[in-house]
């Protein structure tokens, strides 16, 4: 549809480093993709992220406006448009490069952790969120879906009181005070999921029960 109407697509693939759909890495389907290296992501540089694209013109423009739109010159500092200083510091980049060397180990560990969860919840009437057909997930987060909000709340109280740090999914943005007057649909599915979804620990230290 985007191709039909010539709409450029920027993929929000922030959490999906190492995830694939039909053998193709997420973030590579549109004009560009965005990956996050925030502190809670699959690998981290402490903050920041990356723009990926195979469009040379787009790449040059993105680099230009993320590096203060400075015109290349041996000694003069001239900027030709309003832009931003979004460059990642070298020390953060070095941390990211080091972690990328272990990316396969990190993702395999997360997938092994997800399998342990899946096997455990197969014996309980709780739905573990698994990867879809034709997909390979990095299991950045492991989540379960309970039948209603009451059961979800009781589950959270029980797990956290036993030092298992589980938490609900994020609050919908339309529920936040500053966005409460924004235009929105009925959000039926989003509201239903939000009230029942729980995120599980995804630590490398998770071991077989």
The CATH number of whichever domain residue 131 belongs to comes to: 3.90.1150.10
Q: Which one of 47, 77, 100 terminates a domain?
A: 100
The last residue of a domain, from among 52, 77, 100: 100
Q: Do 110 and 195 share a domain, yes or no?
A: yes
Is the pLDDT at 92 greater than 80, yes or no?
A: yes
CATH code: domain of residue 72:
3.40.640.10
Residues 14 and 26 in one domain: yes
Residues 56 and 126 in one domain: no
Which pLDDT band, with edges at 50, 70 and 90, does 95 fall under? Answer: very high
Q: How confident is the model at residue 94 (pLDDT cuts 50, 70, 90)?
A: very high
Query: Residue 133: what pLDDT?
Result: 93
On the question of pLDDT at 205 being above 60, the answer is: no
Per-residue confidence (pLDDT) for residue 209, from 0 to 100: 46
What band does 204 get if pLDDT is binned at 50, 70 and 90?
A: low
Contact 85, 67 (CB under 8 A): yes
Contact 37, 52 (CB under 8 A): no
206 or 84, which is more confident: 84
Instruction: Give the confidence band of 149 by pLDDT, cuts at 50, 70, 90.
Output: very high
pLDDT (average), residues 96-123: 93
Q: Is residue 59 part of a domain?
A: yes
114 and 71, same structural domain? Answer: no
- By residue range, what is the domain housing residue 133? 103-200
Is the pLDDT confidence value at 80 over 50?
yes
Same domain for 30 and 70? yes
Number of compact structural domains in the chain: 2
114 shares a domain with 61: no
Together in a domain, 82 and 131 = no
What are the tens digits of pLDDT across the range 14-61? 999 999 999 999 999 999 999 999 988 999 999 999 999 999 999 999
Alpha carbon distance 111, 113 (integer Å): 5
Question: Do 89 and 127 fall into the same domain?
Answer: no
Domain boundary among 69, 100, 131: 100
Compute how many other C-beta atoms are within 10 angstroms of the C-beta atom of residue 114: 24
More confident residue, 117 or 205: 117
Q: What share of the chain is helix, strand, coil (3-state, %, to 5)?
A: 35, 15, 50
Residues 94 and 117 placed together within one structural domain of the fold: no
Q: Are residues 145 and 60 in the same domain?
A: no
Give CA–CA dist 170/40, Å, rounded. Answer: 14
Confidence of residue 203 (pLDDT cuts 50, 70, 90): low
- pTM of the model as a whole: 0.84
């Amino acid at each position: 549809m985007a191709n039909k109407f010539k709409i450029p697509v920027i993929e929000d693939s922030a959490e999906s480093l190492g995830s694939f759909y039909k053998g193709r890495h997420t973030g590579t389907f549109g004009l560009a993709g965005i990956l996050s290296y925030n502190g809670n992501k699959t690998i981290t540089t402490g903050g920041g992220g990356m723009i990926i694209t195979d469009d040379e013109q787009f790449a040059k423009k993105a680099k230009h406006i993320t590096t203060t739109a400075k015109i290349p010159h041996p000694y003069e500092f001239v900027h030709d448009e309003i832009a931003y200083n979004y460059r990642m510091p070298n020390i953060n980049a070095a941390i990211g490069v080091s972690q990328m060397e272990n990316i396969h180990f990190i993702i395999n560990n997360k997938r092994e952790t997800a399998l342990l969860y899946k096997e455990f919840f197969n014996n309980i009437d709780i739905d573990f969120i698994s990867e879809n057909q034709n997909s390979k997930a990095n299991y950045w987060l492991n989540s379960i879906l309970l039948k209603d909000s009451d059961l979800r709340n009781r589950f959270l109280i029980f797990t956290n009181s036993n030092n298992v740090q589980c938490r609900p999914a994020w609050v919908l943005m339309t529920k936040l005070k500053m966005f409460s007057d924004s235009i929105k649909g009925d959000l039926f599915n989003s509201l239903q999921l939000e009230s029942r979804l729980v995120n599980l620990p995804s630590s490398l230290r998770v071991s077989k029960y």
